[in-house]
Amino acid sequence: MRSILKKNKLNKCYIGNGYYPTITPPVIQRNLLENPGWYTAYTPYQAEVSQGRLESLINYQTMVQELTRLNFSNASLLDEASAGGEALYMSYNIHEGERKRIFLDENVFEPTQAVILTKARFLNLEVVVGKYKDFLKTYNPKEFFGVVVQTPDRRGVLHDFTKFFGELDDKKAEVVKIVASDLLALTLTKAPGHMGADVCFGSAQRFGVPMGFGGPYSGFFATKEENVRKMPGRIIGRSIDA
């Protein structure tokens, strides 16, 4: 075992791929995550999930909506890469299977690319990988059901896709504009909803889940209201009594 362990390379941090060293502030860990009154509040009519946990999930959804500036988010996706696979399914279904190609920027995180490529293979779909800036020069966007880009990307570079998405809209391509992003970055940078994105997904790991827990880290997924019937996962809603 020691000879195998010696092959490990210890590195401080890799840029990209959505994994970052984080610290959960002890005051949050003790008073929220470890507070039974928060996560197990008894609700006799809701056997599956406690009231406290439902409140936590609706807070999470609301935070995702505010940071992405998209109308709807869900509370139940596994991780960033599988959320990217769900974005593929959703954009394909929005076009009701009539289009068979999706464009993937080359600087989308590699685990996300791998899941999208695998899912596409079993659906007999074509994945085109390249530079998003060359997309409109090289391809007819009306042949594609989705375009996936990322900010910050796997090289750690921030992008503003407003001009790119505007050009797609000008061509009336009706292609689903998908942004993979990072919630902590979105506290400072332009929201995908304000860039013109239809879908935003990513990982919530940077909000305090330390490295070494084995993963996967909770994924988030948000979209516009018109796509909500096609959106994967569960939505925690609040009913209003008549």
The domain spans of the chain are 79-230
Averaged pLDDT score across all residues of the chain = 89
Q: What is the pLDDT of residue 44?
A: 58
Q: What is the pLDDT of residue 83?
A: 95
Asked whether 171 and 141 are in contact (CB, 8 A), the reply is yes
- Please report, rounded to a whole number, the percentage of residues in the chain having pLDDT higher than 90: 64
Q: What is the pLDDT of residue 14?
A: 62
> What distance in Å separates the CA atoms of residue 24 and residue 44, rounded to the nearest whole number?
32
Name residue, tokens 């959804």: 61
- Residue count (the chain): 242
- What's the average model confidence in pLDDT over 167-173? 93
Of 33-47, 65-79, 83-97, 210-224, which range is least confident? 33-47
pTM above 0.75, yes or no: yes
Whether the predicted pLDDT of 200 surpasses 90: yes
Whether the predicted pLDDT of 96 surpasses 80: yes
Structure-model confidence comparison of residues 24 and 50, the more confident one: 24
Asked whether 223 and 199 are in contact (CB, 8 A), the reply is yes
Top CATH class, 79-230? alpha beta
Q: How many angstroms from the chain centroid is the CA of residue 227?
A: 15
Q: In which region does residue 17 sit, left (phi positive, over 0), alpha (psi from -120 to 50) or beta (all else)?
A: left
- What's the average model confidence in pLDDT over 81-99? 94
- What's the average model confidence in pLDDT over 191-198? 97
- What's the average model confidence in pLDDT over 118-134? 96
What strand order describes the sheet that includes 199-203? 72-73, 219-223, 199-203, 176-182, 144-151, 101-105, 126-130
Taken in order 27, 31, 34, 39, the sign of the CA dihedral is negative
| CB neighbour burial string for 90-118, b if at least 16 within 10 angstroms, e if fewer | bbbebeeeebebbbbbebbbebbbebbbe
